[in-house]
């Protein structure tokens, strides 16, 4: 039910109740007034009868009393007047006339108690008010009752019964009540008409407000409300119109500017308010995402966050994340549908050899093959109907990473809708990935020897905590080899520093060939090198050291005018059997190296406690 109808029903109910109440009150009041008037009238007639009878007794005309009462009954407003003798009068003067003897309960009660009695009597052909009023003896004034009656004061001498007709009074009362009711009904109808006229602007405005707000909830703020009055209701309509104009203008501006940030302008039929909220929420989440990845230590952590976003926020299950190798025309897979380091699954492996074969890498632009099958010739669908979207992550002006989304025909509409939001995350990740790549490059440069490519002493100092903790956790020993070229100074002095550098590089290459990828080769300084062999006992380390020594001895280094052969001395110590302190193990390996040098060079020496005791002065 509408507000207008509810209001009218409410006021009609109130008016109807008011008419009923006023009609009942009018009828009740008129009845009370009529009875009160009849009672006063009956008392007046009774007093007249008392005075007339007293005068008749004094003047000796008491025998004419019936004529007096008959004439009194013809007075308008009086239907009948009758006098009934009390017992005291009967005892003194006899029963009197036959009309003066009447036996009725209420008459007998009045004669007995001396109190007035009133009642309304209704028969089939009559409706009247009956009053029975006692005639009490008193000695007030002259003449008085005691002058003729030998009775004490306050004796009930008789009763006067008076009937007053009420038929005409009732008819007039009904007419009056009907008139009052009609007047009230007319006033109520007039009030309702005026109320309806007053409610029309409010009702129409409320209906219009309902319609435009319903449209606003659906994102349509173009609705307006017509003003029907110049009062507060009209002001409400005007204010709502201003509010809708403001919302339409500002939300359109916000949506446009957010669309610019997203690189996407929505023109579909979706709820624009909801869409704008989603776009703003995505920007906020992307900003939070950027803050999170800026605090990550490595690129791998950033890639994991990107994958988590694809899987958990946009429910993309098939995807590829590729990284372009800096300075090389190659692409390596980082994560394929959640598998770290997996091989190409949705692209031709050719792109890992020739990065220019990848359209997104080559152009640096989004490659959206949804609806354009064959757009990229490198795509290899898993099933019929599969398509892909490749999004480059721009770093330093070119594609540094490629994120590939693989979707079925059913998933394509959702993927296209989510694409602008995914692109925001990738755009935020681009500079952070570039910064992490530069930091890794700088860190790698700072921790490696520029000439040989081996780790330097600084790396060893940073890595030693991890090295020792891993050994303790695995309860596995590791061996430390200290290596030093024999008579290296003669090379520089005889053949020059260029030849010395060539020897150093040769030795670095030889060391890398003789150790595992899990081991660590360090240029410790000058012609001195250090090797850490993980999970290796001293016996196995001695074999590796001897292999290195023999390879160095057998290696011929061509110079411009001659062939050069060098030898190397190696000292070996073991953690934690020799010491549970890493740097002490290094010192012991250095002591063993000194022993190798002292005993003829070109040999491998295992550290023993006696060496330390013997050389304690070092």
**Within the chain, which residue ranges are assigned CATH 3.30.70.270?**
448-614
CA distance 438 to 456: 19
CATH of 448-614, one of 3.40.47.10, 3.10.20.10, 3.30.70.270, 3.30.2350.10: 3.30.70.270
Reported as a single tens digit per residue, the pLDDT across 163-179 is 888 888 888 888 888 88
398's tokens: 């070119």
Range from 92-101, 184-193, 257-266, 556-565 carrying the lowest mean pLDDT: 257-266
- pLDDT, tens digit, 9 for 90 and up, residues 317-363: 999 999 988 767 889 999 999 898 788 999 999 988 888 899 999 99
Q: Which long-range contacts (CB under 8 A, 24 or more apart) does 287-296 make?
A: 287/428, 289/425, 289/428, 289/429, 290/428, 290/429, 290/432, 293/428, 293/429, 293/432, 294/432, 296/436
Mean pLDDT of the chain: 85
Separate counts of helices (H) and strands (E) for the chain: 17, 18
| Burial profile 566-585: b = 16 or more Cβ within 10 angstroms, e = fewer | bebbbbbbbbbebbeebeeb
pLDDT of residue 268: 55
pLDDT category at 617 given cuts 50, 70, 90 is very low
Q: Whose structure tokens read 């906020």?
A: 284
pLDDT of 27 above 90 = no
Q: Model pTM?
A: 0.50
Q: What is the mean pLDDT of residues 124-152?
A: 80
Residue 269 above 60 pLDDT?
A: no
Overall fold of domain 3-171: Beta-Lactamase (3.30.450)
Instruction: Write a three-state SS string for 1-54.
Output: CCHHHHHHHHHHHHHHHHHHHHHHHHHHHHHHHHHHHHHHHHHHHHHHHHHHHH
- Residue 336 pLDDT: 92
Closest CA to 485 of 571, 570, 413, 609: 570
* Residue 197, phi then psi, degrees to nearest 5: -65, -35
What would the 3-class secondary structure string for 105-128 be? HHHHHHHHHCCCEEEEEECCCCEE
pLDDT digits (tens, 9 = 90+) for 448-494: 888 888 988 888 888 898 889 889 988 999 999 999 999 998 888 88
80-85/156-165 β-pairing: antiparallel
Phi, psi of 297 (to 5 degrees): -85, -35
Assess whether pLDDT exceeds 90 at residue 550: yes
Question: Residue 315: CB partners within 8 Å, gap ≥ 6?
Answer: 414
Cβ atoms 121, 127 nearer than 8 A: yes
- Residues of CATH 3.30.450.20 domain(s) within the chain? 3-171
Tell whether the torsion through CA atoms of 434, 439, 440 and 444 is positive or negative.
positive
| Chain region(s) in the chain for CATH 3.30.450.40 | 296-440
What separation in angstroms does the CA of 332 have from each of 70, 255, 380, 395, 398?
137, 38, 17, 16, 16
State the CB neighbour count (10 A cutoff) for residue 603. Answer: 18
406 pLDDT band, cuts 50/70/90, is very high
Q: Is the dihedral angle over the CA atoms 244, 246, 249, 253 positive or is it negative? A: negative
CB 119 within 8 A of CB 106: yes
pLDDT higher than threshold 90 for residue 403 = yes
At 549, the pLDDT band (50, 70, 90 cuts) reads: very high
Higher pLDDT, 42 or 271: 42
- From residue 357, alpha-carbon distances to 163, 350, 364 in Å are 127, 7, 12
Question: Is-contact 347 404, C-beta < 8 A?
Answer: yes
Residues in Cβ contact with 585 at an 8 Å cutoff, skipping those fewer than 6 apart: 480, 573, 574, 575, 576, 578, 579
pLDDT of residue 481: 96
The CATH number given to 296-440 is 3.30.450.40
Which of the four pLDDT bands, split at 50, 70 and 90, describes residue 567?
very high
- What's residue 605's pLDDT? 95
Summarised one tens digit per residue, pLDDT across range 217-250 is 777 777 888 877 778 878 888 888 888 888 878 7
Cβ neighbours for 533, distance < 8 A, ≥ 6 positions apart: 478, 479, 480, 481, 515, 516, 519, 540, 541, 544
Question: What's the pLDDT tens digit per position in 103-121?
Answer: 778 888 888 888 999 988 8
Q: Give the rounded distance of the alpha carbon of 330 from its chain centre.
A: 47
- 3-state class (DSSP) for residue 501: helix
Q: Where are the alpha helices (DSSP H) in 263-319?
A: 272-294, 299-308
Mean pLDDT of 412-429: 87
**Higher pLDDT, residue 298 or 543:** 543
The strand pairing partners of 22, in sequence order, are none
∠ Cα 413 419 425 (to 5°) = 155
| Torsion angle (degrees, nearest 10) of CA 557, 559, 562, 565 | -20
């Amino acid at each position: 039910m509408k507000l207008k109808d509810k209001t009218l029903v409410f006021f009609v109910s109130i008016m109807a109740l008011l008419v009923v109440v006023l009609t009942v009150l009018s009828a009740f009041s008129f009845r009370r007034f009529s009875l009160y008037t009849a009672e006063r009238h009956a008392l007046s007639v009774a007093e007249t009868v008392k005075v007339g009878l007293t005068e008749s007794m004094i003047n000796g005309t008491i025998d004419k009393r019936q004529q007096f009462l008959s004439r009194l009954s013809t007075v308008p407003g009086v239907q009948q007047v009758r006098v009934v003798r009390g017992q005291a009068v009967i005892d003194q003067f006899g029963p009197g006339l036959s009309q003066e003897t009447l036996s009725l309960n209420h008459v007998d009660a009045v004669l007995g108690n001396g109190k007035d009695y009133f009642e309304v009597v209704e028969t089939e052909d009559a409706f009247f008010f009956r009053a029975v009023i006692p005639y009490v003896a008193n000695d007030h004034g002259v003449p008085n009752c005691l002058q003729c009656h030998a009775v004490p004061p306050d004796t009930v001498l008789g009763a006067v019964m008076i009937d007053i007709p009420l038929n005409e009074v009732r008819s007039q009362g009904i007419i009056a009540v009907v008139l009052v009711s009609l007047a009230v009904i007319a006033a109520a109808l007039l009030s309702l008409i005026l109320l309806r006229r007053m409610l029309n602007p409010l009702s129409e405005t409320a209906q219009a407000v309902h319609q435009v707000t319903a449209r606003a909830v659906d994102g349509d703020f173009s609705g307006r409300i017509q003003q029907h009055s110049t009062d507060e209701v009209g002001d409400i309509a005007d204010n709502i119109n201003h509010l809708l104009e403001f919302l339409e203008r500002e939300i359109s501006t916000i949506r446009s500017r957010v669309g610019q940030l997203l690189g996407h302008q929505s023109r579909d039929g979706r709820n624009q308010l909801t869409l704008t909220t989603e776009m703003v929420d995505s920007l906020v989440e992307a900003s939070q995402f950027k803050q999170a990845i800026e605090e990550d230590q490595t690129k791998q952590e950033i890639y994991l966050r990107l994958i988590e976003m694809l899987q958990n926020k946009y429910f993309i299950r098939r995807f590829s994340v590729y990284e372009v190798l800096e300075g090389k025309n190659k692409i390596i897979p980082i994560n394929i549908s959640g598998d770290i380091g997996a091989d190409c699954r949705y692209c031709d492996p050719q792109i890992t050899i020739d990065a220019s074969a990848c359209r997104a890498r080559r152009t640096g632009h989004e490659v959206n093959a949804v609806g354009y099958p064959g757009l990229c010739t490198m795509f290899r669908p898993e099933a019929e109907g599969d398509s892909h979207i490749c999004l480059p992550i721009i770093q330093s002006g070119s594609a540094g990473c490629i994120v590939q989304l693989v979707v079925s025909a059913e998933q394509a509409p959702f993927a296209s809708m989510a694409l602008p939001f995914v692109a925001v995350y990738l755009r935020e990740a681009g500079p952070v990935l570039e910064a992490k790549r530069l930091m890794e490059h700088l860190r790698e440069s700072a921790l490696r020897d520029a000439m040989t490519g081996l780790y330097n002493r600084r790396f060893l100092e940073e890595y030693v905590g991890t090295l020792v903790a891993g050994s303790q956790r695995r309860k596995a020993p590791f061996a430390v080899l200290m290596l030093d070229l024999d008579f290296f100074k003669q090379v520089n002095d005889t053949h020059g520093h260029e030849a010395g550098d060539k020897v150093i590089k040769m030795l670095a290459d030889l060391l890398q060939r003789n150790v595992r990828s899990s081991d660590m080769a360090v240029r410790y300084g000058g012609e001195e090198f250090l090797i850490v062999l993980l999970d290796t006992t001293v016996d196995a380390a001695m074999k590796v050291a001897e292999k290195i020594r023999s390879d160095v001895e057998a290696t011929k280094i061509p110079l411009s005018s001659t062939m050069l052969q060098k030898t190397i001395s190696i000292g070996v110590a073991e953690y934690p059997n020799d010491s549970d302190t890493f740097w002490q193990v290094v010192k012991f390996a250095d002591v063993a190296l000194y022993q190798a040098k002292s005993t003829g060079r070109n040999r491998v020496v295992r550290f023993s406690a006696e060496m330390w005791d013997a050389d304690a002065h070092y």
